[in-house]
Structure 1
């Protein structure tokens, strides 16, 4: 991706290592969606003023770190995005948007810009946001930020995606649309329910992310809820609620899905038979594995493996 354009730094500063270590990058997926990604350790305090070529658009900003707050000014009003939180920001040409970076701080956030023309559908929250801007209520136009593990996970996948490949640009656009849709759903939910019960402190979110990575890297281990709670310091309720927020499933189902994905990879890349693969990923029953595999792929693991080998031979 190219260096970030559309931002101007005041006081004559330039983008260089005198201000930060890291990257500030931009990619236009099409003429309606653009992605800005910032991951840096700041050595000096500085601002980035944003001037959009889209006269009217919507930004979604997702803060992806556990110990830093993203500060921005919107129509000269200071707003703070807490760790693992996100905000909706309506933008018109008359509104000033500026990010504030502090010295000796690290930042990692994604900013998605979506043209108003891409949002031509009936949504009360969107209409209210843009109406607020149009009548001069810009100071109150930014939506409130709440921790949301699902949005952070999607933003992380978007960040890791190689968006220089044409087919991946379509996937990236899909992620952007899903993020916007889930953010709007979050906003609607927050107006009708009390979200405090689902609030997670930054250290709890960090433990959930660490545990997610441990399970992905070691699916063969035999996990128990008691051991997982002990290793994370989370209660059973917090652990299960956290996984439902982050992965939309219970801990047990997440472990099962990771094992299934690992087994599929081994079917594709190794010469191990089905029984060997089953025990290699931590499952104890071949019949159980065959049942969940067939439910997902509409064929048995053996048939799937045979098709892979047949396709491989036919390619020579």
Structure 2
């Protein structure tokens, strides 16, 4: 067991303290500080980036070869923390508790402690981890002009405005696959410098909003679908991703049910929970999004787009495209071509 004591006076010192405990080197990459470790304790990276208004984002992509417990004191630096297990799992407890709580893959944790309290995060050995951590310094964050904490549910509102750090709080979230999608978007980001940092910041706020939305659902007593297990929801999400990759395939409930070994009723319930759409509505939505993407390119005409995404009727495609985007495919295409001509004239 490796025990790491963290006493940062600010978020920017966290990596330095982790380096002292784990070894490795800190490098500057694309606006982030990245601790790279490759030794007998661990192999992987821990990246950190800070934004305005007291928002910090840390990502662990690492495998520990020994169990690791990180102990943090809530003194000089005591933010509100939002954690998410993209891959792997971890455990959490407060210093006043002996029992640890599990945070499994695709599950979240929101927590903060009283001033002077202790937090313990326990990482397993020999398990590939991908864990994200958003840290909010409440005093700075509340100064942000468009921060409207009054819109939060009462419990979370009280936590955000507790700038004197008088209360202890933890929320152990249920399965959340939407956060996973946005973490993937961060991983796929390209570019450098300010543009990349702005994109990461926007996605971090999206992730933060999903944490808050999930807590709102919990406060309202909105449960996971009772007929579906977490494993079945993950399977349905996998089907959803396959549809994104191959929108032109002829999907129907019978085949999807057979492929997933789930009943049609479970499929529909799962798609409604994950995507707020029925299976048919989801397939149509993905095809239309793909069509709009293709219409932004100059090398395909509308008929080619229609057939490439699995529709057989151009008139039906035009009808549902206009219903969804409030513009016909022809007009959309003309706008795209006009924009391309304008860009070429400027160039």
Q: What's the TM-score once normalised by structure 1's chain length?
A: 0.82
Find out whether 1:14 has 2:23 as its counterpart: yes
Counterpart for residue 174 of structure 2: 146
Q: Looking at both structures, which has the greater relative contact order when contacts are Cα pairs under 8 Å and sequence separation is at least 6?
A: 1
Find out whether 1:208 has 2:228 as its counterpart: no
Match of 1:275 among 300, 303, 320: 303
Find out whether 1:125 has 2:155 as its counterpart: yes
Where do residues 83-122 of structure 1 align in structure 2 (5 Å cutoff)?
83-91=105-113, 93-117=115-139, 118-119=141-142, 121-122=149-150
What are structure 1's unaligned runs of at least 5 residues? none
Where do residues 166-185 of structure 1 align in structure 2 (5 Å cutoff)?
166-185=194-213
Q: CA deviation at 1:105?
A: 0.9
Q: SS of the counterpart of 1:284?
A: coil
Q: 1:23 to 1:12 in 2, by over 3 A?
A: closer
Where do residues 16-165 of structure 1 align in structure 2 (5 Å cutoff)?
16-18=37-39, 19-50=41-72, 55-65=77-87, 68-75=88-95, 77=97, 78-91=100-113, 93-117=115-139, 118-119=141-142, 121-122=149-150, 123=152, 124-129=154-159, 134-135=165-166, 138=168, 141-162=169-190, 164-165=192-193
Q: 1:274, 1:301 within 8 Å by CA — same for their partners in 2?
A: yes
Find out whether 1:234 has 2:234 as its counterpart: no
Q: CA deviation at 1:224?
A: 0.5
What are structure 2's unaligned runs of at least 5 residues? 1-11, 25-36, 143-147
Q: Aligned residues, how many?
A: 308
Q: Deviations over 1:99-153 (max 9, x none)?
A: 322221121121111221325623411244466x9456x3xx2113211223333
Q: 1:12 to 1:81 in 2, by over 3 A?
A: closer
Q: CA deviation at 1:83?
A: 2.2
Q: In the aligned structure 1, how far is the partner of 2:265 from the partner of 2:192?
A: 41
Q: In the aligned structure 2, how far is the partner of 1:191 from the partner of 1:31?
A: 27
Q: In the aligned structure 2, how far is the partner of 1:163 from the partner of 1:202?
A: 35
**Which moved further from structure 2: 43-52 or 300-309?**
43-52
Counterpart for residue 259 of structure 1: 287
Find out whether 1:311 has 2:300 as its counterpart: no
Q: Deviations over 1:69-90 (max 9, x none)?
A: 2223433643321221112112
Q: In the aligned structure 1, how far is the partner of 2:322 from the partner of 2:178?
A: 28
Q: CA deviation at 1:163?
A: 8.1
Q: Deviations over 1:31-73 (max 9, x none)?
A: 42111111223323223445789744211111123xx322234
Q: CA deviation at 1:14?
A: 1.5
Q: CA deviation at 1:281?
A: 0.5
Q: What's the TM-score once normalised by structure 2's chain length?
A: 0.76
Q: In the aligned structure 1, how far is the partner of 2:294 from the partner of 2:327?
A: 17
